[in-house]
Amino acid sequence: EDVVLLDEEQATALAEQLPETTWQIADIKERTRTKSPFAPFITSTLQQEANRKLNLSSSRTMSVAQSLYENGYITYMRTDSTNLSSEAVKGARRTVAQRYGDDYLSDEVRQYSSSDSAQEAHEAIRPAGSDMQTKDEIGLSGIEAALYDLIWKRTLATQMADAEVRYINVYFDAEVDGNVARFRASGKRIDFPGFFRVLVEGSDDPEAALRSRERPLPPLDIGETSAADPSEDGFHVQSVEPIGHETEPPSRYTEASLVETLEDEGIGRPSTYASIIGTIQKRDYVRKQGSALVPTFTAFATNNLMETQFEPLVDVNFTAEMEEVLDDIARGRTEPTPYLHDFYKGDEGIEPLVEEGLDELDPQEISAISFPDQWGDYVVRVGQYGPYIEGELNGSTVTASVPDDLTPGEATEERLESILAEANKGDRVLGIHPEANLPVLLKSGPYGPYVQLGDDEEEDDPKRVSLPPDVEPEDVDFDLGLKIISLPRTLGEHPETGNEIEADIGRYGPYVRHEDTFASLQQEDDVLEVGLERAVELIQRKESRNEPDRVLGPHPETEEPVEVWNGRYGPYVKHDGTNASLKDDQSIDAVTMDEALDLLADKGDEATQKVRG
């Protein structure tokens, strides 16, 4: 068949003619396919599915799964085995037969093979025991119920019949100017739902939920022609729209797709996927934008270093082979000490590789990131204090810090030029402070523009105040500069305590403060104008939320409550004035009293140290 590539003009002209011509059904093709259920969950697939269906990060998924495991609701959650015990298989098949009937059971017990490197010490992740109770039957709620439900459905599906799906393609021919244009309409109908049935369990209307998986087409016959009038029998062409198509770059990794790639490449193990993803975020190699993991300038510079000087260490095969050796050590097939000696001190080991790499290292070259097609002659370097732009401006080489929110994928030549120009305007003297007799300066730094009182050379620690979010540097005159540098403002006394309330600008933007309570100003508030009444309202609203997210119970030594809070810098546990941040793999919902006491003891809480010995 001839295929013609149309430009926009041709496509538009054709689209205008097609609704006026007669269309005829040239062919109808149907095929039935069976779809089999996926294997039961292992660590990686649970993380992927929880990310896709529940929008959970890998670490959050493991934290919730840990809680379910500790409470006896699921089996161990760090596993790469898809094996189900005979108890689990019998329980799943019995539950399927009771709920949906024997027709929904697979003809034979389904067994799933694991990868060659899988550790068979644990079976797949499944509901504990043999009763296969639902989330409602065991009284779960919230995110624990949602994750358990995923596991329950996946486990039952493994022992259910295949789904039978009919795919229908209808081909239409329409003649224009002696040429025939062919179009296709695709439909899908579920002939037998099989394991699809358990996937819609919990819906208000399971049958409707199953129908929503279909893509129905009306009854059509070969040779049937279109009707000119919508009131007549037959199909009717309503409109034809020309839509251009351009190829797009691959989608960015999400946590789910990254775990999938790690597993495919043999990098890491079930117990390390969450920590790998947590580490690359903690070290600012990637940042999350929505669900996408977006690499930073630091990531590019680190990648330059590793690929240039230490290429064997970042070779996928090297990492996968190392994992295999570690598995062999775990099975007792390989001696650990000789392997570790060769790994570190051997001719191709870490020590000689690092020594040789450091001797050849050129920091200027390694730290430079350039994309001439997108950035022109501008270069971004990653230095001791973060990434900065380097380029020519008015005949001189100048630099400027990269804004915190700019990533390599968003950088353009125009944006880099604008940042350089703005940063190198030079300080602007707004005037002389009438009381301090010091210059009031408008300056620009790594975190944006700010007002400063006094010169850097003359003052050891000059006062600096960031511009309010809605103020542009070009709008700052002497009067406005004086208002900004006068922050914090005292608004008056709190009506209940008599203590002062202040308005100021901090690292996270404008706020009002009363004692130890900080309340962020809203978009409609102006830090330079906000009054006492509004400040009291914001503070009272914030203080009404100043209750712990969880109370774990009384401390075994003091009887004072051990609480879990979600603070400005992340979640933490609190006891009698001691605060201890949760670890990356711990969450507010899942942290236990024992874990909290360990954190408090490490933080120096004396009462807890007595208990922990």
Catalytic residue list contains 148: no
Candidates 69, 73, 76, 572; catalytic one: 76
CA distance 583 to 315: 30
Counting Cβ atoms within 10 Å, is residue 104 exposed (0-12), middle (13-18) or buried (19+)?
buried
Assess contact for 74 and 140: CB atoms under 8 A.
no
3 state SS for 30-71:
EEEEEECCCCCECHHHHHHHHHHHHCCCHHHHHHHHHHHHHC
CA distance 456 to 438: 11
Rg (CA), the chain: 32
What secondary structure letter does DSSP report for 466?
E
CA distance 549 to 147: 21
CA distance 318 to 324: 10
CA distance 442 to 449: 7
The values of phi and psi at residue 296, to 5°, are -100, 175
CB atoms within 10 A of CB 319: 16
Q: Which amino acid is at 40?
A: P
Q: Which of 249, 259, 247 is nearest to 293 (CA)?
A: 259
Give kind and range of the element (H or E) at residue 145: helix 142-157
CA distance 17 to 365: 59
Q: What residues are labeled active site?
A: 76
